[in-house]
Amino acid sequence: MYLMSVDNHLHDEALRCAQRAEEALSAGQQAEASRYFLEAASFEEQAAASMSAAPENEPMRAGLYRDAASFAGKGRDLSYAERLCAFGLAGFPPPELRNDLFQLMDDITRERLWGEQAPGIRGAALSMRLYGSGIRFGSAPVKAVMKRVDSLTGLFARTTQRIAERPYADLRKKDPLARPFMTEMAVDAPGSFGVTLKLSRLAGEQISFFQPDPQDVLNDIVSNIACIASGDFETLQKNIPDESYLVNFIAAVKEIAPDGNIVKSVGLSTKTKNIAFTAGQGEIKRTARAAVAALGPAAPRQYPEKLTGYLDIVDRKNGTLALTSDEGKVYKAEVKSGLEEVARKYFGCLVEVEYTKKRRAIILSDISSLEDAE
């Protein structure tokens, strides 16, 4: 019934082109896939254009324009995709399709603006954009944003420390070479939800010969996050050979990664680099533990690999914690070097930890909050 008054031949051609595009994509032929997706968009647009913008031609007309816009987006012609969304909205789409078209246009516009703005970022700045069902045009839950901003600013300091060839040390101790920059934050142009974090030095501040360039710090972070996003842990370990820095980096990136609920994708861009980060926290955890020996082996069989409980400070000086399980049992816990900054965020919170056993103490090798969703 849906295709009674539309040119079936055009619609069938669109589906055939889309199928070829997916096959090319699976074979790693991105240019060929884009060509087929754009052909699919053209055929679907012609099918939709054969119908007048009248209530009796809905929901068919709007559905065809929505599909055409989706194909154009996959083909990387974002301006074309935006126009197709507008054509669909210019008719009489029912509420569900109207929402689909608005959401698709919003997603496409964000991606196009990001691509256009990234090369024009001035100085040492990193732009972060969040996408997902819990993100709205220019707004996002505070926790979803600040948790990722906090993890990124932690990476700024750690990466600066590592590039300057400083030994891994507690950042709470005064080390001017670990924190030589002032971090500024500005809200980005409305899109998904975007902020720009800029590293800058105070006017008149003396620059040490050993301090890395802030642009090098940001590019290093984005390049190594790209390794995690693609599952290339071999390159990551070559880039970050020190075990503590490596554990810290992976733990921080897991905090920045999409949660699969509120945040479905995270975009990061500097003046010269950009990535779209879709690997979820669970996926990062699984692939990292399988690839990185520094994260430690699985716990011995006689002890559970995971524990749930509340994390409390016992000995700040020695970094000893207590984990009180759901059953009220208290475990003495130590934190693997590199993980302490993440653990510190969850003092007093309900958490799930993975650990290894050492005599009577458990060594936390991974930690995740079980508090209410962001």
Higher pLDDT, 258 or 369: 258
pLDDT for residue 72 is more than 60: yes
Same domain assignment for residues 259 and 277? yes
Same domain assignment for residues 132 and 66? no
Inter-axis angle of helices 60-74 and 78-89, to 10 degrees?
170
Residue 194, classed as helix, strand or coil, is strand
Same domain assignment for residues 142 and 219? yes
Q: Which domain holds residue 50?
A: 8-116
Of 295, 326, 350, which residue is a domain's last? Answer: 295
Same domain assignment for residues 276 and 348? no
pLDDT for residue 2 is more than 50: no
pLDDT digits (tens, 9 = 90+) for 238-295: 999 998 899 899 989 998 988 877 888 888 888 778 787 888 888 888 888 788 776 7
What is the mean pLDDT of the segment spanning 304-314?
Answer: 76
Sequence-distant (≥ 6) Cβ neighbours of residue 298 within 8 angstroms? 289, 305, 356
pLDDT for residue 299 is more than 50: no
Same domain assignment for residues 25 and 136? no
Cα–Cα distance for residue pair 102/254, rounded to 1 Å = 31
CATH number at residue 332: 2.40.50.320
pLDDT digits (tens, 9 = 90+) for 168-186: 876 655 555 555 566 766 6
Residue-averaged pLDDT of the chain: 79
pLDDT at 1: 35
Higher pLDDT, 271 or 63: 63
Least confident of 74-78, 235-239, 268-272: 268-272
Terminal CA-CA length for the chain: 43
pLDDT at 180: 57
Closest residue by Cα to residue 158 from 247, 237, 238:
247
CA-based torsion, 93, 96, 97, 99: positive or negative: positive
CATH number at residue 15: 1.25.40
pLDDT at 5: 52
The top-scoring range by mean pLDDT among 57-71, 166-180, 348-362 is: 57-71
The top-scoring range by mean pLDDT among 79-93, 121-135, 247-261 is: 79-93
- Tell me whether residue 157 is in a domain: yes
Domains identified in the chain, total number? 3
Same domain assignment for residues 188 and 90? no
pLDDT for residue 204 is more than 50: no
pLDDT at 118: 55
Same domain assignment for residues 165 and 258? yes
Least confident of 42-46, 158-162, 223-227, 304-308: 304-308
Cα–Cα distance for residue pair 226/224, rounded to 1 Å = 5
- Tell me whether residue 3 is in a domain: no
Strand order in the sheet with 125-131: 182-187, 193-200, 125-131, 265-269, 274-277
Number of H helices, E strands in the chain: 11, 10
Of 267, 295, 323, which residue is a domain's last? Answer: 295
- Tell me whether residue 41 is in a domain: yes
